[in-house]
Amino acid sequence: MGVLVGRKAPQFKASAVVEGNKFVDDFTLEQFKGKYVVLFFYPKDFTFVCPTELHAFQAKLDDFKKRNVEIIGVSTDTEQSHWGWLQMDKNHGGIKGVTYPLVADTNKTISANYDVLTGDYFYDEEGDLQATGELIAYRGLFLIDKEGVVRHQLVNDLPLGRNVDEVIRMIDALQFFEENGEVCPANWHKGDEGMKADHDGVADYLGKH
């Protein structure tokens, strides 16, 4: 799919761990219609960069909630793996204290539909099924609006952690545009002035040059 901005976010139903310790068999994206969603993918449980990101999202969870935003994490690990990692203390490499949902994309279809899967399947000359890479998720992030449309996406390679403050800035920019009808210039932050999208003025200018 490549770029999903402007399109409906792919729907899914999967197992997940919610509230840090509860298993859910039928977790869906559809249940959050009417709210903004930050859906982020990470490569693996029990790794190094990933827990720093998951804790960073948790640390800002109240800021997201104030903006009517739900945070959802996804990896190709099992729900049992998610649960085990959630029981481990932070100083031992765990993510204990994370309360937002962690989805188990064990059949890798969610990652594939969002085009963040690192590898792919293929058949060799003998007709045997093979795979390139580990078939895990890149560090993809998708900002989905209240109507279920993707409005922003970012995909980092595996070694590159994300900036959670930048995610909040993008949410503020989207909500500012929705509330005021003004667009946000480079390096815009909440409290800055926006710009009016004056299409007539642009047309007049182009007509004179």
Asked if 193 and 144 sit in the same domain, the reply is no
The yes-or-no verdict on residue 204 having pLDDT over 90 is no
The residue-averaged pLDDT of 24-32 equals: 96
> What's the mean pLDDT in 102-126?
95
Asked if pLDDT for residue 200 goes beyond 80, the answer is no
pLDDT score for 199: 57
Same domain, 27 and 64: yes
Closest CA to 42 of 86, 92, 105: 105
The SS3 of residue 8 is strand
Please say whether the beta carbons of 136 and 93 come within 8 A: no
Residue 42: which of 118, 113, 107, 109 has the closest Cα? 118
Range of the domain at 99: 13-160
pLDDT of amino acid 1:
62
Mean pLDDT across the chain: 93
In the structure encoding, which two tokens stand for residue 134, read together? Answer: 């580990």
- Distance, in Å, from the CA atom of 35 to the CA atom of 114, rounded to the nearest integer, reads 20
Q: In what order do the strands lie in the sheet with 139-144?
A: 22-28, 13-18, 102-104, 69-75, 36-41, 139-144, 150-156
Whether 2 maps to a domain, the answer reads: no
Residue 201 inside a domain? The answer is yes
The whole-number average pLDDT for the span 186-202 is 80
Q: 171 and 40 in contact (C-beta within 8 Å)?
A: no
Same domain, 97 and 41: yes
Could you report the per-residue pLDDT of 49-107, keeping only the tens digit for each?
Answer: 999 999 999 999 999 999 999 999 999 999 999 999 999 999 999 999 999 999 999 99
Q: Are residues 117 and 199 in the same domain?
A: no
- C-beta atoms surrounding 175 within 10 Å: 16
- The neighbouring-strand residues paired with 132 are 120
Instruction: Report yes or no on 97 lying in a domain.
Output: yes
Which position among 37, 50, 116, 170 bears the catalytic label?
Answer: 50
Assess whether pLDDT exceeds 70 at residue 209: no
For the four alpha carbons of 186, 189, 193 and 196, in that order, the dihedral sign comes to: positive
Same structural domain for residues 133 and 86?
yes
Whole-prediction pTM: 0.92
User: Which value, in Å, is the radius of gyration of the alpha carbons in the chain?
Assistant: 19
Residues in the chain: 209
Distance CA 110, CA 142 (A): 13
pLDDT (average), residues 6-25:
97
Percent of the chain with pLDDT over 90: 90
If one counts the domains in the chain, the total is 2
> Rounded CA gap, 73 and 40, in Å?
5
Considering the domain architecture, whether residues 116 and 204 belong to the same structural domain is answered as no
In a domain, 3, yes or no: no
Tell me, yes or no, whether 124 and 202 share the same domain: no
Say whether both 95 and 197 belong to one domain: no
50 is catalytic: yes
**DSSP summary character for residue 23:** E
Are both 40 and 120 inside the same structural domain? yes
CATH at 46: 3.40.30.10
